[in-house]
A and B are shown apart, each in its own frame.
Chain A
Amino acid sequence: MTNRRNEDVVMPATASGRAKGQGMSRVVVVGYGPTAHRFIETMRSRGFAGSLTVIGEEPRPAYDRVALTTYLTEDASLEYAVPSGITTRLSTRVTEIDRQAREVVTLDGERVPYDTLVLATGSAPFVPPVPGRGRAFVYRTIDDLEAIREASLGSTHGVVVGGGLLGLEAADALRGLGLKTGIVEIAPWLMPRQVDEGGGSVLKGHIESLGLEVHAGVMLQSIEADTVLLADGRAIPAEVVVFSAGIRPRDELARAADLEVGERGGIAVDAGMRTSDPSIYAIGECALAGGVVYGLVGPCNTMAEVAADRILGGSSTFGGSDLSTKLKLLGVEVAQFGAMEGALDVTYMDPVAGVYKRLFVSDDASTLLGGICVGDASPYTSLKGFVGKPLPASPSDLLFTGGGLSLDLPDDAQVCSCNNICAGTVREAIAEQGLTDVPSIKKCTRAGTTCGSCVPMLKQLLEKSGVEVSKALCEHFDYSRAELFDIVRVRGISTFSELVSTVGTGRGCDICKPAVASILASLNGEHVLTGELAALQDTNDHFLANIQKNGTYSVVPRIPGGEITPDKLIVIGEVARDFGLYTKITGGQRIDLFGARVEQLPQIWARLVEAGFESGHAYGKALRTVKSCVGSTWCRYGVQDSVGLAIALEQRYRGLRSPHKLKSAVSGCARECAEARSKDFGIIATEHGWNLYVAGNGGFKPRHADLLVSDVPTDELIRIIDRFLMFYIRTADRLQRTSTWLESLDGGLDYLRQVVVEDSLGLASELEAQMERHVAGYFDEWRAVLDDPDKLRRFTSFVNAPGVPDPSITFETERQQIKPVLIPLEVVRS
């Protein structure tokens, strides 16, 4: 991104009125982080008419720093949209505030005049003065992460200095970059600011079980080339060292300009976010509000809104903020709310399950003061709103019932601390706007849009407000697809009629019939045209081909892994030529033949089957293809036989009916030529085995697949894919691709991993057995049609003239191939 010059920002004439209070026409913001973003957004949405300039030192507009770590794991952009009418100056550092002239000076010496200045310079990581510190990294910006990623290439060991919230997040990131990672913490236990000693020891168990080393109660001595030295004399290998030892407010500009700053840093502000200079405000992590520097987005956002309101003439105040935190780090829930001490406390500890919960209450045991949770944060969700209020039940009940999720939150209980939204606000929005799902609550109230940890609470508020979140498939079934799947499975139902007469109404429709057809196919594996099943199928499944816009069909023979002999290729060419079909190579490494009339389909397939081809299921909500790169057999970079694996997988899962189509790919090395990470399940070869990625998607809403397991051998890989696919088939909604399915799973990827890798639900053997039944029961659908005169009879254009082709289907020629001639719609509709 380049700097945008700012000729358009200065409004010279009106500036003369600036001393008169209301002439605040030029607002300049220094620092372009999340707080600055919230500030300019609020100014714009409240109709501020003057000019608004943001000067930021980073080379990009503000981005979601809370989600910084996902920069390494996901492709989603973290950047916020720049509101319209804002002048942004990126890669520009402000070096001086000239309060006399009311100008800020940039590193280039440029002077930008202001009427009102807002400092939103955030904070900088603290790097303790140890020898070798120049070799270390910090963890704060996208550029920091880029540098860490680069350094970790070719490295094997990492160390994070600091075992607080961010330190653990950074350690997880290093682990994700493939480094064996240690954590050095000077305090006797991890996360000393959030948890007490008991919680710390439970947390340590979790962290160590993930393969991270914890060195607590020890100081860092120095950083050497490939090791760090600890004060107790130990040397730990580490090519990559990251400091996460606290942050310091960036108050240097304010200091130099003689604004009042706190003894331990932070730009002092009043309740309206104004500094000791009335035309300068400070907001976010650089501000010292009520003697506190806040390091969480929630209060920073509130400060931004207060400052905007004040500049626009309002009188709102910032009254301090709750520093409760709940987060999920390395799969472990950690939460702290309210006070970390009290007259009485009740502790629940289960070292085996790795759960620690502690509540602090007043001396008469009637008022809740605060709590700490490790391993199970449900009390946070249900109890945070009760801090300072009478306890809704006895402390031990609250701890043992996993937090008693049926408690009614008071209206003034904060639900979303990132955006400062109370339960009452959410309830009101649900009632007044008639909201029925979490996405619309997010949109309406902003709750849940930042860190997302309150989403379960939003769901609960929705349910409690009596909103029926309708899962009904259509007017014929009050059940979701997943529920119908279980009904069919458990009751052993084998026909639509039986299902609709027992749990549905009417005779179905184009929504429920194909969904039930797919369920029956997944469970029973019968031919899709057998008996009553035939009436349930979409036209594609009914003719085992893909309908095109003129009512003709296309044919796709299976070419497993994209590997094909010249002889078979010639057969496809001959068939296409003899039937005059338009021929195109697909993205899935196969060949699509277009323009076949229904009565031609059996003739075409008779030739294809004879040459050894099978149905490619391009017409079904089923496995399509397993694409592959050329792999280690030929490619000089390949490390595994990707073609061999792709063929094995395609043959294993061919014909598997699922809630939506399934695509896969196998790449023979990290260069990823097969684009496996855009697939529902993608496999990438490693030196030691295979990495399995799941829930990717191309198409309308691209999504990179998530790493589910790494370096697994082939048999284990297949076992996990079996489970993954069957779990998806069981639980997804109708027409829900794996990507949206994963996003809708409570607990997301971690939960999926627990179920299909760690077998937390004890389902694994059942899922595997179900897949085995599919594999054993596979047959070629097209061959079966050709062998069955009853099924063949349906392939006619006219029931009373079986040999006659549909005269309304005609073609013209384009680039030496056929192209449909369409009947103009005006003619059709008149």
Chain B
Amino acid sequence: MSTLTWTAVCAFDDLLPERGACALVDGRQIAVFRDFDGAVYAIGNLDPFSGANVLSRGIVGTRMGEPTVASPMHKEVFSLVTGICFDDPEVVVPTYPVQVRDGRVEIAA
């Protein structure tokens, strides 16, 4: 399994620690986050509870050690690792492979 197509979306330094940004990749909105330790995550930007593209603007934190984002609309909390919603595990947002290469953040979507 190899042929992931990586798209560079921004410089790592463009991301603030514990804050997200949204990238437009092939017409898809992807929320990219950098956590406190410098790890990077990518999930869908669409909030499944409100139907608005806002997850990149949520507050980043942890739940029992797992990195999370809370929707800015109604505060449902999602795992940045699995995309699963803590408040309703039936609801999952997509996650995307993400890497940092040469100071650039790249997403495979």
Contacts and interface: CB of A to CB of B under 8 A. Distances in A.
B9 A509 contact: no
Contact of B53 (A513, A535, A551, A799): A551
Interface string B33-77: 001100000000011111111100111111111011010110101
Interface in A251-293: none
Contacts of B75: 510
A510 B53 contact: no
B22 A547 contact: no
Contacts of A543: 57
B52 to A, nearest CB: 4
A643 B100 CA distance: 57
Given A551-B53, A801-B24, A828 B91 contact: no
A738 to B, nearest CB: 23
A510 B91 CA distance: 19
A627 interface: no
B29 interface: yes
B21 interface: yes
A797 B52 CA distance: 13
Nearest to A830: B48
Interface in A55-78: none
Contacts of A537: 59
Contact of A828 (B51, B62, B64): B51
A829 B88 CA distance: 12
B32 interface: yes
Contact of B14 (A540, A799, A804, A824): A799
Contact of B54 (A475, A535, A547): A547
Contact of A507 (B14, B15, B50, B61): B61
Nearest to A808: B53
A549 interface: yes
B77 A542 contact: no
B32 A799 contact: yes
A806 to B, nearest CB: 6
Contact of B73 (A475, A536, A549, A806): A549
Contact of B58 (A476, A539, A809, A822): A539
A506 interface: yes
Given A510-B70, A513-B59, A549 B52 contact: yes
A509 B57 contact: no
Contact of A539 (B27, B29, B54): B54
Nearest to A539: B72
B41 to A, nearest CB: 13
A798 interface: yes
B62 A508 contact: yes
B18 A823 contact: no
B5 to A, nearest CB: 15
B52 A799 contact: no
Contacts of B18: 507, 535
B17 A535 contact: yes
A799 B9 contact: yes
Given A532-B17, A808-B53, A514 B59 contact: yes
Interface string A631-670: 0000000000000000000000000000000000000000
B23 interface: yes
Contacts of A506: 61-65
A807 B70 CA distance: 23
Interface residues of B, number: 45
A799 B19 contact: no
Contact of A510 (B8, B23, B29, B61): B61
Contacts of A540: 72
A534 interface: yes
Contacts of A549: 50, 52, 73
A829 B17 contact: no
B70 A475 contact: no
A509 B24 contact: no
A825 B48 CA distance: 7
B47 to A, nearest CB: 8
A509 B68 contact: yes
Contacts of A823: 46, 51-52
Contacts of A476: 61-62
Contacts of A799: 9-10, 14-15, 21-23, 32
B51 A535 contact: no
Contacts of B46: 808, 823, 828
A502 interface: no
A565 interface: no
A797 B16 CA distance: 15
Contacts of B9: 799-800
Nearest to B56: A799
Interface in A773-830: 794, 797-801, 804, 806-809, 822-825, 827-829
Nearest to B18: A535
Q: Which of B8, B36, B46 has the most CB of A within 10 A?
A: B36
A538 interface: yes
A724 B31 CA distance: 42
Contacts of A532: 17
B81 to A, nearest CB: 14
Given A535-B17, A547-B73, A797 B51 contact: no
5 interchain residue pairs of minimum CB distance: A539-B72, A510-B70, A551-B52, A509-B61, A799-B21
25 contacts: A475-B64, A506-B62, A507-B61, A507-B62, A508-B62, A509-B59, A509-B61, A512-B61, A535-B19, A538-B72, A542-B19, A547-B54, A547-B73, A798-B23, A799-B23, A799-B32, A800-B8, A800-B10, A800-B23, A800-B25, A804-B24, A808-B53, A825-B49, A828-B51, A829-B91
Given A509-B59, A535-B18, A538-B72, 9 more contacts: A476-B62, A507-B36, A508-B62, A510-B59, A513-B59, A535-B17, A549-B50, A551-B53, A797-B22
